[in-house]
A and B are shown apart, each in its own frame.
Chain A
């Protein structure tokens, strides 16, 4: 299972970085989502990987898994979800204002803005 988790984190990060480097809104947003998936799985794994054990006190439990990463990952999911929503809205706004969905700023854009 360790191999599966580790390789999926690695693969999702690689895909995410590749997509972010495409420098267009849609691939960048999908890429950021992939990286945050990878990050969430990684945070889960930081509490050691155990299957089928409860994170909270239970009378029948034979052992426990670390509850802390679950709380951390919940926070991380909520934040990355909200951030992605904001980014989608801003990217849409920029697309309608500028007529293209490039993320990078061209040199002439920077100069025009001073006008």
Chain B
């Protein structure tokens, strides 16, 4: 039993963030070490929770010992433990990159915001209460607003304002959805909702369908699903490199929320909604794939191209999620792990390139950059990963999704065609950036070697290799996770609702 450890991924970053903000504002070097140590500790706790969730199954943490559904609960199960671990691992590596490149010193309070961001993301993964999901969304958003405009600049601020406005509208929609759910059911505890929904009178189900559709829209905004993806390309392209890399996990918060809510509260087996949400999700995912792939092909800047690659990967992910079979969910989770690491790695490589080249413009070749060979090799690996070519895990992930969606011709066509268009776009960008630069003939401008930054990128790519090599055990574990999502009795029982004993 994990006991109080379940709340540690929320409390630890909160305390560290507040301490960094209040006590270490004039000691950036100390803030660096304390913040990195806290993130490393968070990863250790996350691994411990992952172990606990695997061995003991779902477990709830009752804040203030108030019983559910009256009190607030955090619920640890395999899926939430997995996502918290992914977040912590990614955050640690990207934080090392930010330190290695000096990004964290280009503005103020980078590490405090970083910790608050982690608090929000971990809280969103762990909470078992729909209203608290909203609160943690807001925590992660408000920290992300600060991180997004870190180091300032005209275009970054403008993109930041647009990002904030988009998300504020999304938050309001979320509140409308939650109020509708509450007015019908009188509860916002997710397990309690799962129990109460099938018992509702027929007349109330129309309102629940509306609430479910609004929730789906909110999560689609987070997950950058077309037509609600418009905030993503500008935001990810303008945000500082390490921040975009961390944001790779923020879109997964949307995917996680879709998986959680639409397997637990509105499962396909619920007669009143049935396949309604799956039918909304699947076409949107297919269009997302197309828009993302065309965006990769047409992007004018390197960061913009990577941002559209992230959109494509969300499309692939949602195309798998939309089928809501255990096989497809398990494939989607594997692809989520892969695409988070791959997109983050590619954002960091783009940042390394742009930093040395002086521009991410893909319109024309420029003089060679410092450490060109190494960066070009890393870009090649990152491109292979994100496009889903063998031998890296993207290929396995897409293969699993295709195998899980046998008979879905549209999904097959969209995934295969978008992969092809992405390969073209990435290959063209790579040749403009690295190959044609030799023709320019000039000597590369000198630049710091930044070994720590390369170690961080290497660690992300090593994570992809690990995901590929250990694909067998990982998919086995994910299949059990997907089975637990399909039959959430253990999750509901962990909440110890009254009358359910």
Chain A interfacial positions (CB closer than 8 Å to B): 20, 25, 28, 32, 35-36, 39, 42-43, 45-48, 66, 68-69, 72, 75-76, 79-80, 82-84, 86-87, 90-91, 93-94, 97-98, 102-105, 109-115
CB–CB B161/A91 < 8 A:
yes
CB–CB B157/A90 < 8 A:
yes
Binary A-proximity of B217-254 (CB < 8 A = 1, otherwise 0): 00000000000000000100110000000000000000
CB–CB B169/A79 < 8 A:
no
Chain A: which residue is nearest B162 at the CB level? A103
CA–CA, A90 to B144, complex, Å? Answer: 13
Q: With an 8 A cutoff between CB atoms, is B135 at the interface?
A: yes
Q: Shortest distance in angstroms between A115's beta carbon and chain B's nearest beta carbon?
A: 5
Binary A-proximity of B159-171 (CB < 8 A = 1, otherwise 0): 1111011001101
On chain B, the residues within 8 Å of A102 by CB distance are 158
On chain A, the residues within 8 Å of B141 by CB distance are 83
On chain B, the residues within 8 Å of A111 by CB distance are 300-301, 361
Query: Closest 10 A-B residue pairs measured CB to CB?
Result: A114-B301, A46-B183, A113-B155, A94-B157, A46-B179, A97-B154, A43-B179, A114-B360, A39-B175, A46-B182
Stretch of B45-53, B145-153, B272-280, B441-449 at the chain-chain interface? B145-153
Q: Shortest distance in angstroms between B385's beta carbon and chain A's nearest beta carbon?
A: 23
CA–CA, A61 to B142, complex, Å? Answer: 41
CB–CB B161/A110 < 8 A:
no
CB–CB A42/B176 < 8 A:
yes
On chain B, the residues within 8 Å of A28 by CB distance are 165
Q: Shortest distance in angstroms between B21's beta carbon and chain A's nearest beta carbon?
A: 15
Chain B: which residue is nearest A20 at the CB level? B169
Could you list 30 A-B pairs, sorted by A, with CB under 8 Å? A28-B165, A32-B168, A36-B172, A43-B182, A46-B179, A46-B183, A69-B179, A72-B178, A72-B179, A75-B131, A75-B135, A79-B138, A80-B171, A86-B142, A86-B145, A86-B164, A87-B161, A87-B164, A90-B149, A93-B152, A94-B160, A103-B161, A105-B158, A109-B158, A112-B155, A113-B237, A114-B237, A114-B304, A114-B354, A115-B361
Chain A: which residue is nearest B135 at the CB level? A75
CA–CA, A16 to B368, complex, Å? Answer: 51
Binary A-proximity of B289-329 (CB < 8 A = 1, otherwise 0): 00000000000111110000000000000000000000000
On chain B, the residues within 8 Å of A110 by CB distance are 155, 234, 237, 300-301, 304
Q: Shortest distance in angstroms between B162's beta carbon and chain A's nearest beta carbon?
A: 6
CA–CA, A87 to B178, complex, Å? Answer: 23
Chain B interfacial positions (CB closer than 8 Å to A): 131, 135, 138, 141-142, 145, 149, 152-162, 164-165, 168-169, 171-172, 175-176, 178-180, 182-183, 186, 234, 237-238, 300-304, 354, 359-361
CA–CA, A25 to B157, complex, Å? Answer: 12
Q: Is the interface of A mostly helix, strand, loop or mixed?
A: helix
On chain A, the residues within 8 Å of B300 by CB distance are 110-111, 114
CB–CB A93/B138 < 8 A:
no
Q: Shortest distance in angstroms between A48's beta carbon and chain B's nearest beta carbon?
A: 8
Q: Shortest distance in angstroms between A110's beta carbon and chain B's nearest beta carbon?
A: 6
On chain B, the residues within 8 Å of A68 by CB distance are 182, 186
* Known A36-B172, A80-B168, A111-B301; 19 more pairs at CB < 8 Å: A25-B161, A28-B165, A32-B172, A39-B172, A43-B178, A48-B183, A69-B182, A76-B175, A83-B171, A86-B145, A87-B165, A90-B157, A90-B164, A97-B154, A105-B158, A110-B300, A110-B301, A114-B237, A115-B361
On chain A, the residues within 8 Å of B360 by CB distance are 114
Chain B: which residue is nearest A42 at the CB level? B179
CA–CA, A76 to B172, complex, Å? Answer: 9
Taking A43-B175, A87-B164 as contacts, is the C-beta distance between A98 and B157 under 8 angstroms?
yes
Q: Shortest distance in angstroms between A17's beta carbon and chain B's nearest beta carbon?
A: 9
CB–CB A32/B165 < 8 A:
yes
Q: Shortest distance in angstroms between B362's beta carbon and chain A's nearest beta carbon?
A: 8
CA–CA, A12 to B182, complex, Å? Answer: 21
Chain A: which residue is nearest B300 at the CB level? A111
CB–CB A72/B152 < 8 A:
no
CA–CA, A43 to B179, complex, Å? Answer: 5
On chain A, the residues within 8 Å of B161 by CB distance are 25, 87, 90-91, 94, 103
Chain B: which residue is nearest A115 at the CB level? B359
Chain B: which residue is nearest A48 at the CB level? B183
Q: Shortest distance in angstroms between A103's beta carbon and chain B's nearest beta carbon?
A: 6
CA–CA, A43 to B177, complex, Å? Answer: 10
